[in-house]
Chains A and B, each alone.
Chain A
Amino acid sequence: MAGTGLIDDYVTALDRRLRGPEHVKDDLLAEARDSLHDAAAAHRDDGLAEDAAQRRAVAEFGPVTEIAREYQGLLGLAHGTRTLRAVMLVIPLVHIMWELNRRFWIGAWNDFDAPPPDWYLLVARLNDTSAWVVAGVAVLALLVGRRLARTAVSTVTLARLAGVVAVGAVAVTASGNVAILAATAYLDAARLLMSPPVAAATVVSFVVVLRLAVLARRCVVFSSV
């Protein structure tokens, strides 16, 4: 078909500028391509030749740079929402898994000959609490983001906000995990290895936090336009 390249070139140019979840991107681009073909068909019905009809459809759609910015905001927001949902669900889940493991295989910390000092219990309590605070902040961010999406706040700004919350949530969780690990190593390094299942649960926790850190970093990358 003469001029088919015009629409394809436009969609390809849009595709090249966008970064984000592939399934969301494919969906957005399929819709854009569909709309451009609809517009070209309408212009053909009005008497334009194929090439001119496609050129007009592309011109009406808007400059790639301008349109890509709005699409990128959507992609950043989609990734940010997904990351916040993961933070909301996975961090408490991993924490519960670790606690259950510890209670089953080790038991209460106070059962040791020398109960841990107050500062250690404080670090442990802060780490325990942070999992729930972080999950609560993620829920709040999702609700506020949904509300803000009804206002004039752009999707780029919303995506950046989601990224900031995600990075903060992962940083707090990682700090808590490292703090309790370091405190335990300082207090009694043998406790870290006294139970292989608990040690394995600790490794799993760090792998999960690492994965969330990667997702949070992508939030920042995808919301940069």
Chain B
Amino acid sequence: MKSDALRGHLDGLLLATLDGGRLHGYAIIEALQRRSGGALDLPTGTVYPALRRLETAGLVASEWSTVGGRQRRTYRLTQAGRRALAAERTAWREFTTAIEGVLGGGPWPAQA
């Protein structure tokens, strides 16, 4: 899946990845790839500016901490981030339900 198709969803994907807890940058990238079955193919360098933008927006918080003996910047969801993620999930479910209804090939309503 190419990066252009992901652009509009990157924020939601990053928030969802952090839903499980605090992670450092490369762990977020690994989690994205793992949870997508390896289908996500975006330049990994774009993840960091996106995380920092989400931090500017108050949706994630970050700090340097020691992970595995190395200094790393780790990220976590804020309360505002949790609310934004819930809204993203609701919007995504509504979207997929609507598209599935059409593209999924379900029965058309009976003609009047």
Chain B interface extent, by class: 20 to 34
- Contact of A23 with B by CB under 8 A: no
0/1 interface trace, chain B 20-41, chain A, CB 8 Å (1 if under): 0000011001100000000000
Q: How many residues of A contact B (CB 8 A)?
A: 29
Known pairs A73-B49, A150-B59; A35 contacts B43 (CB<8 A): no
Q: Are A34 and B56 in contact (CB under 8 A)?
A: no
**Complex interface: chain B residues within 8 A of A62 (CB):** 43-46
Q: Are B56 and A35 in contact (CB under 8 A)?
A: no
Among A32, A60, A77, which residue has its beta carbon within 8 angstroms of that of B48? A32
Kindly list 18 other residue pairs between chains A and B, CB separation below 8 angstroms, not including A30-B73, A39-B26, A74-B52: A28-B52, A31-B48, A34-B25, A34-B72, A35-B26, A38-B25, A42-B30, A60-B44, A66-B45, A67-B43, A67-B49, A74-B49, A146-B57, A146-B58, A147-B57, A149-B56, A150-B57, A150-B59
Q: Are B43 and A60 in contact (CB under 8 A)?
A: yes
Q: Are B84 and A150 in contact (CB under 8 A)?
A: yes
State the A residues within 8 Å of B (CB): 27-28, 30-32, 34-35, 38-39, 42, 60-63, 66-67, 70-71, 73-74, 77, 81, 145-147, 149-150, 152, 155
Known pairs A39-B44, A62-B44; A34 contacts B49 (CB<8 A): no
Q: How many A-B residue pairs have CB under 8 A?
A: 77
0/1 interface trace, chain B 35-71, chain A, CB 8 Å (1 if under): 0000000011110111011101111000000000011
Q: Are A61 and B49 in contact (CB under 8 A)?
A: no
What are 22 residue pairs bridging A and B, where the CB atoms are less than 8 Å apart in the complex?
A28-B48, A30-B73, A34-B70, A34-B72, A35-B26, A35-B44, A35-B45, A39-B26, A39-B44, A42-B30, A61-B43, A62-B46, A67-B46, A70-B46, A74-B52, A77-B56, A81-B56, A145-B56, A149-B53, A149-B57, A150-B54, A155-B53
Q: Are A35 and B49 in contact (CB under 8 A)?
A: no
- Contact of B106 with A by CB under 8 A: no
Q: Give min CB distance, A104 to chain B, whole Å.
A: 41
